[in-house]
Structure 1
Amino acid sequence: MGRRVVIFHGTRAEPAWIWYPWLADRLRGRGYDVETPHHPGTNTEPIATFLPKVLAAHSFDADTVLVGHSGGAALLLALLERLEVTVAQAVLVAGYSTPPNDADEPVLQDRYDWDVIRSRARELVFVNSVTDEFGCDAEQGRAMFDRLGGTLVVRDDGHFVSETLEIVDRLIP
């Protein structure tokens, strides 16, 4: 398949928003095939019915890099738990594994098999902010890091909704 990146947008977002197209262009310039799918069910449809649709819509192999933002990052936890292959890297930007605020979070599972998730990515990276206005903050990143290991990058960048996101571009080899 070759080097490939799949960028999963956040809750009620679209692939053309914020830094998603910028990162896709940067990675294409470095030789990656990049998918930026639109999954409107992200964090609006229960994960039990939504996840099989995502799994059926994409293929994954040892050269795949997964990038998820916000609800898309939370989706990566369930996705990794269900994959039958180990991907190269998973980068969770403003990710979370427990409800970050009072909003309904249908993307979350009641429990996770952390050992399986850890085994499904050769490298795990968590990028969180101390000032995330939605609660997808450094504490959420630390909780995932404590369970999964990998790399935790803590910034002061809110919910990471700028037009560029240099840190993620630098984290993908």
Structure 2
Amino acid sequence: MAGAMSRNAIIFHGTGARPEYLWYQWLAMRLEARGYTVSLPHLPGINVEPIDAFLPRALEAHAYDEDTVVVGHSGGAALILALLERLDVTVAQVVLVAGYSTPPNDNEEPVLRPAYDWDAIRSHARDLWFVNSVVDPYGCDAAQGRVLLDRLGGTLVVRPEGHFEVATLDLVDRIVG
């Protein structure tokens, strides 16, 4: 088993967000206090640029290995699905908060792929968690989480917390090992 200092976490914000928004920095500080090296990149092109143009930069910008934890919120969670398809390693843990794999509403979703290689995604994550809400105003709801669970296995947690914008997500802090 690798030492605690080799663990790294990458937190991908959602569409139109920034690293200083919502609970992202709070989670980064919590993980750093537990020995993680945390990356919280600003990705203004997320869900703006087509995924096939955006994805290579997201892959090259970070190191992924068997000790990596990846957390994504909304559009960041959708980005992680495409990342996992293309990785050549299996990461330790993936937490998708308000994640989705099909258009959740009437807005364009360039972060989504037309189809996913679910076997490849599953093979590149040892531990998968989906955190969705019963009442998500953007459609990234429990039904979306259920689709991800059915296709990938893992654990689905459903909470009545909207789009998880206000909550500090103690739950995600407890999930990450």
TM-score over 0.5 (shorter chain): yes
Which of 48, 54, 72 in structure 1 is aligned with 2:52?
Answer: 48
- After TM superposition, give the deviation of residue 164 of structure 1 in Å: 1.1
Secondary structure of 2:174's aligned partner: helix
Give the Cα–Cα distance (whole angstroms) in 2 for the partners of residues 156 and 79 of structure 1: 28
Return the letter of the residue paired with 2:60.
A
Amino acid aligned to 1:105: E
Partner of 2:107: 103
* Residue of 8, 15, 22 corresponding to 1:18: 22
- The amino acid that maps onto 1:29 is A
Q: Which residue of structure 2 lines up, in the alignment, with residue 131 of structure 1? A: 135
SS in 2 for 1:102: coil
Distance 2:137 2:32 in 1: 31
Which residue in the other structure is 2:170 paired with? 166
State the aligned residue count: 173
Task: Give the residue type in structure 2 aligned to 1:73.
Answer: A
- Answer whether contact 2:101 2:144 (CA < 8 A) is retained: yes
Indicate yes or no: 2:106 matched with 1:141.
no
2:158 aligns with: 154
Q: Given residue 118 of structure 1, which amino acid in structure 2 is its aligned partner?
A: R
Cα separation, 1, equivalents of 2:166 and 2:34: 21
2:36 corresponds, among 32, 42, 55, to: 32
State how far apart, in whole Å, the 2-side matches of 1:14 and 1:165 are.
17
| Partner residue, 1:73 | 77
Q: Give how far 1:56 is off.
A: 1.1
Q: Is the 8 A contact 1:22 1:163 kept in 2?
A: no
What is the identity percentage for the equivalent residue pairs of Structure 1 and Structure 2? 67
Pairing partner for 2:91 from 87, 90, 105: 87
1: CA distance, partners of 2:8 / 2:174: 16
Selected match of 2:61 from 52, 57, 60: 57
- Distance between the aligned counterparts of 2:61 and 2:10, measured in 1? 11
Contact 2:9 2:39 in 1 (8 A): yes
| 1:2 and 2:9 aligned | no
Moved over 3 A (4+): none
**What residue ranges of structure 1 are gaps of 5+ in the alignment?**
none
Maintained 8 Å contact 1:5/1:33: yes
